[in-house]
Structure 1
């Protein structure tokens, strides 16, 4: 029969405390994850489908603005008002024709806003050097709530 040494017993007590500490940390992580999950579910319930559409529109506007920034970096200017956002998917043939237009374009396709309307482009912009925006759910300028405009100036 083998006897345990006192040293081994001392470490056993440390393991027990370490295990309790690990269990506590694990519990805190689980509680935090559950809290995040509850917050996400509550946000989804509160915003509903129209709120999700507004979030999608804001993401689309950001993506289009990023593509326009790349266009400007390559060509020294934004597309003209006449060239419009189509200049991001097709090389413009009207002046000023971009010399360093990226082969394949800056976007694979131009998205419509979540309500099925084309995004609007102004050069020069009203709120900045250029503006990219959607008129929102009502497809009319202005409005409040879900009908409010969503633009690059936000």
Structure 2
């Protein structure tokens, strides 16, 4: 049957033609979406603090590893030059030849001296505390002496 003939046959048979028949659309209701968002929020509330707790632990671990690397580099410096760098030269003596140091065989670090994980410079003191040859310090998250947890001072 052609288009017009078909339409007349359907009307004659009692069928109604609806040009825009309503179809069921698959999808989510607003209530269903709100429930999903609430569940995601609850999961984030439980998992978030644990995840951020591990971030602070990794910052402390990174600072300890960097301090240990500086200590090894300073030992290499001492073996080559016969002494540790003065406090005034600091850790930069591991990267750039200090004046009047003919036996310097560096650089002892592959890159520039990094900041600690909290963005503060490391402190180098010679002589160090407790009769140590030197001391390398990170003052922690707060960047000032003393503190506990993430704010605690780290040293070699």
TM-score normalised by L of structure 2 = 0.64
Name which of 101, 104, 115 aligns with 1:98. 101
1:129-152: per-residue Cα shift (whole Å, max 9, x none)?
100010000001010011000100
Name which of 134, 142, 148 aligns with 1:130. 134
1:101-122: per-residue Cα shift (whole Å, max 9, x none)?
114x111210110001111100
Bigger proportion of residues as helix? 1
Q: 1:45 offset after TM fit, Å?
A: 4.8
Tell me: CA distance 1:46–1:112, structure 2 relative to 1, closer, same or farther (3 Å): closer
How far apart, in 1, do the equivalents of 2:146 and 2:101 lie?
A: 34
Partner of 2:87: 81
3-state DSSP of counterpart to 1:59: helix
- CA RMSD in angstroms comes to 1.5
Structure 1 unaligned regions, length at least 5 = 1-43
Partner of 2:150: 146
Q: 1:126 offset after TM fit, Å?
A: 1.1
Max radius of gyration: which structure? 2
* Number of residue pairs matched by the alignment: 105
TM-score normalised by L of structure 1 = 0.64
> Does 1:119 find its partner at 2:122?
yes
Structure 2 unaligned regions, length at least 5 = 1-49
Q: Please list every run of at least 4 consecutive aligned residues from structure 1 whose deviation after the TM superposition is greater than 3 angstroms.
A: 44-47
3-state DSSP of counterpart to 1:74: helix
